[in-house]
Chains A and B, each alone.
Chain A
Amino acid sequence: MRLLSAFLFLPAMAAAQDRPVLTAMTYDSFVTEWGPGPELERSFEATCGCDLRFVAPGDAAAMLSRLRLEGPRSEVDVIIGLDTNLMGAARESGLFTTLEGMPATDLPVEWTDSTFLPFDWGWFGFVMNRNMPIPASMAELADSDLRVVIQDPRSSTPGLGLVMWMKAAYGDQAGAMWERLADNILTVTPGWSEAYGLFTEGEADAVLSYTSSPAYHILAEGNSSKVAPIFTEGHYLQVEVAAKLAGSDQPDLADDFLRFLLSDEAQKVIATTNWMYPAREVDLPEAFAGLPRPEKTLFLPPDQVEDLRDAAIDEWQAALSR
């Protein structure tokens, strides 16, 4: 029985030490052995004289609801991995504080926000096999016979990203475009993993993901059969951000960590484990840096996303429910 309880409570006992503890909340795939978490923890702890602890209650949306449940009493000092579509709601919660003295970032759009610090970004895109007819635009995709799997905007951030992409590219015509695209949509999954699984199993011709996704297949699998075609309408930008909790009891350590997150070392780790573009210009493997990039970046500011979201999702739902 003692063995059993030791086993059950093991994770809790591992970190009972005297060094200051920095608690970072992030999404679950960030902290697995294939994500950036373990590597970042090692290098940050080597210099900070602290204990960096991750909490990972699910995906990005789950993090925010968890923080809202915890309220101001939360032990979390920094949060890593909210995205631009969740920023409006995050700001409204009033849980985060402004940052000072952070390094400059290079993004395809101008970034002026002083509460949310970008640490990586990517363009949403459709990933498909090279040997299929490659569409050059959303309109071409809608007119093709390709069968696509997408994610539900009500449960998944890429799904919401596509809805915003359509809105940014087609404005008032977005609903009509969704109707054109409807017969190409094989099905809708609750999250990214299920959709990507359906694609790699060969059930769908293309999947909504990121234009940088092929980098994983090239670098980690040595497989260059996957491409993400560039669309003439432009691609919607997703920026992943980190922020500091207003109620943090380690504000200086939190600042140090956020600065560290933008260091060359951390940025390289993030790019090749998260398969997203780094937020600062750093050297990337050729297969990654050489991926085709969209000529046009589409982006809606977070507060506008917040205003448009419900109507845009209704539009999506109406078009796809026919």
Chain B
Amino acid sequence: MAGRVVALIVTLLTLGPLALVAWRAEGGWGADWPALRFTVTQAAVSAGLSVLLAVPVARALARRRFRGRGALIALLGAPFLLPVIVAVLGLLAVFGRSGLLNGALGVAGLPNVQIYGLHGVVLAHVFLNMPLAVRLILQGWQAIPSERFRLALSLGFGPRDIARHLERPMLREVLPGTAVVIFAICLTSFAVALTLGGGPRATTVELAIYQALRFQFDLGRTASLAALQCLICAAAVLLAMRLSVPPGFGKGLDRVVAFAPPGWRRIADALVLMLATLFIASPLAMIAARGLPGMMDLPQAVWAAAGRSVLVALGSTALTVAAALALAGGGRGMGLMATLPLAASSLVMGTGLFIAIWPFIAPERVALPVTLLVNAVLALPFAYRILAPAMGALRADYGPLADTLGLRGMSRLRWLVLPRLRRPLGFAAGVTAALSMGDLGVIALFAAPDGPTLPLLVQQLMGAYRMEQAAAAALLLVLLSFGLFLLFDWGGRRGSDL
């Protein structure tokens, strides 16, 4: 019941603004086919590659124990949370024309590599999303009950048999959902695609929306492009739901058995982990190096903005996690509603909300509450994707027992759901909090000039030529988001031996 109410609210907040924009339009529908083709291509390639690369990394993390493993898993949360422009500058510091890679190639006497183009867009999207995919897939690995591994080992299964009977069925459930989330994120990519795509060849639908709404003030075109984006996303979600099959492992007794095949697989795992760490950590290190010099003389306004952002993030987190729990408890059909916000153009959402709010109250007065709500909706797909598989397993494994015992409502939440889902709940809350810190979303349209959030302030500093201070404020933003993420994630992993 709660699930249905939440689904209704989320759908209303996602599609309502779009409908309002369409309602204000005066005729004129239109599409942009070349932009559509490029958008879908880059999103599909980015999602496919992210997931493909994430599988060996997640497998290595699942079956090896080493010093710094926890830190590495935490670090995986970082790239995904970066504000777009910060991520782009960090990537360029490594892969750009005067970046580390080309510096090293130059020393070795090798020709330079050029980042701008479709491959650059894909590189950036893989950097941003592959770590998220690793976390989601790793969760799948950890959800295979250890008894199944034990049984497999006692039957004399080799790594190949284990892959066939345990790992592949698990991947079959997890991969489609993971890929579709990343596909939807990349679908609305705009600044990354244009900047690293190297020019107008890399026009995405979101840029066309931006142009239609702001320069042409063509609300009909805006609404039709946004609707197109939602349709593509919905099609991808439905496809993923058909492909995804629950593995049906049954429940276990929560003990971890590390299945760690020796020999060349050990070396391969080490290599995979080293390469992944290098790929993720080097742009992050460059971002830190850029921001540090300015950290000492940050303007006063930065701290007030940081306070506002943390508050918004915490509020969004509470809303999102509660909503995601309700949706995840509502069964498989909720997947579509829970993923749709990803495809919503934040510009269209902001404009629609503006049309809705404007007749009643000055938008500036509700800037922060609106930001909180919108961030909560935009983060919901991630929280849902993290919680849904665990919640499904919980229902299959413990549902009948709980029903027999008459364990319902709050007591079911307290005695069954919260203890069993501690780990994914912590991870989901962490991702939501960090996302709501970083997401610019719609705040710009509503912003009260004397109350910017931290991401908006970073943008303002850049607009006032203050690139060094902007880099420092961006680093603060990253540190705060990552701090919030770590806090929740650690809280979830601690005291959970799952």
Contacts and interface: CB of A to CB of B under 8 A. Distances in A.
Interface in B414-459: 444-452, 456-457, 459
B362 A197 contact: no
A192 B462 CA distance: 9
A152 B464 contact: no
Interface string B71-90: 00000000000000100110
Contacts of A155: 207, 210-211, 214-215
A185 B197 CA distance: 12
Interface stretch (B6-14, B61-69, B135-143, B363-371): B363-371
Interface in A179-215: 185-190, 192-194, 196-198, 200-204, 213
Interface residues of B, number: 67
Given A55-B449, A193-B462, A201-B89, A185 B199 contact: yes
Nearest to B307: A7
Contact of A70 (B92, B97, B358, B457): B358
A11 B450 contact: yes
A189 B202 CA distance: 11
A193 B311 contact: no
B354 interface: yes
Nearest to A273: B464
Nearest to B197: A187
Interface string A309-322: 00000001100110
Most chain A CB inside 10 Å of its own CB: which residue of B354, B365, B463: B463
B303 interface: no
A280 B315 CA distance: 49
B449 A58 contact: no
Contact of A69 (B215, B358, B447, B448): B358
B496 interface: no
B199 A54 contact: no
Contacts of A56: 447, 449
A107 interface: no
A187 B191 CA distance: 12
B89 A197 contact: yes
A37 B452 CA distance: 15
A203 B199 CA distance: 15
B460 A32 contact: yes
B200 A89 contact: no
Interface string A2-46: 001001111110100000000000001101111101000000000
Contacts of A198: 89, 92, 195
Contacts of A89: 217
Given A188-B194, A189-B194, A220 B210 contact: no
B183 interface: no
A9 B362 CA distance: 12
A107 to B, nearest CB: 24
Nearest to A70: B358
Contacts of B462: 193-194, 196-197
Interface in B367-415: 367-369, 372
Contacts of A154: 207, 210-211, 215
B198 interface: yes
Contacts of B201: 320-321
Given A7-B311, A12-B364, A152-B200, A201 B214 contact: no
A272 to B, nearest CB: 12
A82 to B, nearest CB: 13
Given A32-B460, A220-B465, A190 B445 contact: no
B85 A197 contact: yes
Given A12-B364, A62-B445, A65-B214, A190 B190 contact: yes
B195 A189 contact: yes
A194 B447 contact: no
B217 A317 contact: no
Contacts of B463: 28-29, 32, 192-193
B98 A54 contact: no
A186 B452 CA distance: 32
Contacts of B498: none
A61 interface: yes
Given A186-B97, A317-B200, A11 B466 contact: no
A54 B197 CA distance: 37
Contacts of B194: 152, 187-190
Contacts of A264: none
B464 A29 contact: yes
A167 to B, nearest CB: 16
Contacts of A317: 200, 203
Nearest to B210: A155
B195 A35 contact: no
Contacts of A123: none
Contacts of B447: 28, 56-57
A190 B84 CA distance: 12
Given A8-B369, A34-B464, A187-B116, A193 B449 contact: no
A321 B368 contact: no
Contacts of A35: 464
B444 to A, nearest CB: 5
A13 B448 CA distance: 12
A320 B456 CA distance: 31
Contacts of B182: none
Contact of A189 (B191, B308, B470): B191
A189 B214 CA distance: 16
A64 interface: yes
Contacts of B351: 65, 69
A147 interface: yes
A216 B465 contact: yes
B71 to A, nearest CB: 28
B355 interface: yes
Given A11-B364, A56-B449, A190-B190, A201 B196 contact: no
Contacts of B190: 190
A203 B200 CA distance: 19
B34 to A, nearest CB: 8
A155 B209 CA distance: 10
Contacts of B258: none
Contacts of B466: 34
Given A29-B460, A201-B89, A188 B198 contact: yes
B88 A194 contact: yes
B31 to A, nearest CB: 16
A316 B444 contact: no
B93 interface: yes
B464 A32 contact: yes
Given A58-B444, A155-B215, A189-B191, A197 B200 contact: no
A186 B467 CA distance: 20
Contacts of A65: 213-214, 217, 351
Interface of B: 24, 85, 88-89, 92-93, 96-99, 116, 190-191, 194-201, 203, 207, 210-211, 213-215, 217, 290, 299, 301, 308, 311, 315, 351, 354-355, 358, 362, 364-365, 367-369, 372, 444-452, 456-457, 459-467, 470
For the complex of A and B, list the 4 residue pairs with the smallest distance between their C-beta atoms, beginning with the closest. Answer: A193-B462, A29-B463, A12-B365, A11-B448
15 contacts: A8-B369, A11-B365, A12-B448, A32-B461, A56-B449, A57-B447, A62-B445, A65-B217, A187-B194, A188-B198, A189-B191, A203-B99, A204-B97, A316-B200, A320-B199
Given A186-B116, A188-B194, A188-B198, 8 more contacts: A8-B368, A11-B450, A12-B364, A28-B449, A28-B463, A32-B449, A32-B461, A155-B207
